[in-house]
Structure 1
């Protein structure tokens, strides 16, 4: 396994990602998005989530973007803008590195789970996302606001309450922007006290009512078991990824 390559996707300091190349023929492309309650976490910089290497070892190309977060120029709308730009940069990575860009699967943990599922709701993207995996993600921002998840993380991310900025919540909340033809899988620990599993239940209820193919796989454990490739929950994530990956011919 080679070290990931650092590649810029925009002009700003945090506009870069780490590209992990698949071991053997590529099975497709994963966009892996870290969490942190949309707050800047220096420990994430150039510190790949262990899942990046684990997915690459099993045959996926993995694009792991950094992005502006609260405390580093992020929040509304910069964080969403950066994630959108990073996903759209797959078109350039297709040209320069042969990365498949036609059917990426977004995978994210915690706030990254929010961003991964939100990516399926973007209007007229250059690189559409039609499949996402949330690992203990914040998928219902209105519920997260009411429950005070992450000591007010939702309000901090969107720069105010839903009463103050209803348009921001409408634009950023996956539960309010469900796309029926997207597919969403959620892997969530049943004892998670950071992002409660009620987030997953709420999203699945809304999504299935809207006709979306959405499913929750509850696993034993806390908030971080779902990003540990050595944990039994990893088998659930792999199964979801295999289910959502669209087969494609080799590039080149």
Structure 2
């Protein structure tokens, strides 16, 4: 008996990310392997969301811990391979350096505020972590040892990922100059402004949707069971006030969690105003913090 052919719609569609073959890994000079542009989530009516994955050298005795890296860009723009303007000239780049240090590093796309409002971006990051766990045996990674690392708007999303219900649960967070509160007026931020990046993220001015603004604010989710946080912020930040990191660190420590706050003198947003050596020191300190959590 001849088996019926599958319908054309089934054949023409790309394989679902959960079962799609992984692309071949491209070797880098440092010995790191790179899988670029891997779809991790199918969203009906939307573009595929993708991630890049830097993997350490083969032959490791056990699966590599994971750094899930979240780019900034005011939730409105940004690229998944970016860690901010001061590292764009690094060769090898920051993600390759992190992988050479023994981490698997996922640079993750998420839907921007012009595509979908909150919680779409957070849902995407949760989906990325789920997908990485699902494919972990093939990739040689251990998502049970995941540290989330984000800068600016990506720091906000990384904080939420670490503080809210997520499976697998991150073991720590590195947050560079991230917003922690979308409700309180601060220098340069008016919660009544419907054109602010925060309003575009929420779909309305934060003052007009206080419950949604609180839900989207990491500060409201601080709790005793939170994983350890490293919060690094420039004292002279003119785009995201340092008080965001000060408030989140205080709330976490008051709740009985562990939060290390490092304020950087003379630093504006994106480490503008610092020397190359000072940026290198912040990067090294952050890597050391992440390593300690997964060792």
* TM superposition score category, shorter chain reference: 0.7 to 0.9
Q: Is the 8 A contact 1:23 1:58 kept in 2?
A: no
Q: Secondary structure at the match of 1:67?
A: coil
Which runs of no fewer than 5 residues in structure 2 stay unpaired? Answer: 1-27, 84-92
87, 98, 104: which is aligned to 1:61?
A: 104
Q: Using the alignment, how far apart are the partners of 1:217 and 1:20 within structure 2?
A: 28
Q: Secondary structure at the match of 2:196?
A: helix
Q: Does 1:170 align with 2:214?
A: yes
Greater Rg over alpha carbons, structure? 2
Give the match for residue 110 of structure 1. 152
RMSD: 2.6
Give the match for residue 258 of structure 2. 213
Change (3 A) 1:23 1:236: same
TM-score relative to the length of structure 2: 0.73
Higher helix share: 1
Q: Deviations over 1:65-114 (max 9, x none)?
A: 1011022x132221121111112222123132121111200000000001
The ranges of structure 1 where at least 4 consecutive aligned residues each deviate by more than 4 angstroms after the TM superposition are 144-147
Q: Is the 8 A contact 1:138 1:144 kept in 2?
A: no
Q: Secondary structure at the match of 1:9?
A: strand
Change (3 A) 1:145 1:82: farther
Q: Is the 8 A contact 1:189 1:223 kept in 2?
A: yes
Q: Secondary structure at the match of 1:116?
A: helix
Q: Secondary structure at the match of 1:30?
A: strand
Higher relative contact order (CA 8 A, sep 6+): 1
Output aligned runs, 1:56-205, within 5 Å: 56-71=99-114, 73-123=115-165, 125-143=166-184, 147-148=188-189, 152-181=196-225, 182-205=227-250
TM-score relative to the length of structure 1: 0.85
Q: Using the alignment, how far apart are the partners of 1:160 and 1:204 within structure 2?
A: 27
